């Protein structure tokens, strides 16, 4: 199903929300299309994992809201696709994410160690569904807006070619610095100093 939705009344940009049947994990992932072939024969794609605290309530604990805003601005201007994945808390869910926040505050663990303390892998996300969504849209090759090589590998594992990795801005603040450092330690390409005194 494809449904047009106006996201910004200052522009004529109308996004198309696309739903899917039979995704591997049966979750309600959404593709949001902004004229995918406007700028290039290879669409620019952002895979965004749902973050209720950041996306909706503007929590400063993480950089999700900044990344979502940056992606929407870029894609609505240049064309592309946002895949909004229901991967709250890197796949562990909202309640577990809040339990992990509690552990981070109480014990000083980082986001990945806290998930492990709760009995989960540091990152449970699979990119099988994102790959299924792109394939259903007839897309076999993308330029991926990300700093995370695991997303590139994840798509390629399921048959989607990534011709280019477009870095996202580093939205560092005093609130999310330790979160960004833990992302860097887990393999994200982030230009952030490990010097905690900085
Ligand atoms: Zn977040």
**Domain residue spans of the chain:** 2-87+126-185, 92-124
User: Active site residue: 61, 99, 125, 185, which one?
Assistant: 125
pTM of the model: 0.89
Q: How far is the CA of 49 from the centre of ligand 1 (A)?
A: 8
Residue 36 CA to residue 134 CA, distance in Å, equals 11
Cβ count within 10 A of residue 139: 19
> What pLDDT shows up at residue 120?
87
> What pLDDT shows up at residue 198?
40
Q: How far is the CA of 104 from the centre of ligand 1 (A)?
A: 14
User: Active site residue: 99, 110, 123, 185, which one?
Assistant: 123
Let me know the angle formed at the C-alpha of 32 by 36 and 146, rounded to the nearest 5 degrees. 75
The residue ranges of the chain whose pLDDT is under 50 are 197-198
59-175-112-183 Cα dihedral, nearest 10 degrees = 110
> What pLDDT shows up at residue 110?
86
| 90 catalytic residue (yes or no) | no
For domain 2-87+126-185, is the CATH number 1.20.1050.10?
Answer: no
Burial of 42 (0-12, 13-18, 19+ CB in 10 A): middle
Q: How far is the CA of 172 from the centre of ligand 1 (A)?
A: 13
Cβ count within 10 A of residue 128: 16
| 123 catalytic residue (yes or no) | yes
Residues with Cβ within 8 Å of residue 113, at least 6 apart in sequence: 122
Reference 52, options 19, 98, 121; nearest CA is: 98
Q: Check if the beta carbon of residue 139 is closer than 8 Å to that of residue 47.
A: no
What DSSP character marks residue 138?
A: T
């Amino acid at each position: 199903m494809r449904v047009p939705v106006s996201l910004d009344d200052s522009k004529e940009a109308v996004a198309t929300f696309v739903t899917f049947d039979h995704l591997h994990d049966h979750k309600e992932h959404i593709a949001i299309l902004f004229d995918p072939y406007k700028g290039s024969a290879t669409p620019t794609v952002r895979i965004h994992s749902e973050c209720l605290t950041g996306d909706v309530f503007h929590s400063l604990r993480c950089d999700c809201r900044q990344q979502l805003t940056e992606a929407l601005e870029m894609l609505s201007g240049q064309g592309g696709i946002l895949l909004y994945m229901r991967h709250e808390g890197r796949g562990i869910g909202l309640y577990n994410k809040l339990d992990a926040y509690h552990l981070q505050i109480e014990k000083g663990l980082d986001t990945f160690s806290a998930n492990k303390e709760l009995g989960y892998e540091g990152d449970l996300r699979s990119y099988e569904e994102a790959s299924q969504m792109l394939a259903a849209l007839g897309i076999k090759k993308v330029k991926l807006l990300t700093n995370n090589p695991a997303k590139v590998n994840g798509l390629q594992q399921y048959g989607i070619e990534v011709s280019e990795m477009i870095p996202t801005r580093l939205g560092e603040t005093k609130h999310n610095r330790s979160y960004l450092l833990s992302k860097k330690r887990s393999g994200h390409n982030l230009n952030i100093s490990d010097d905690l005194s900085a």
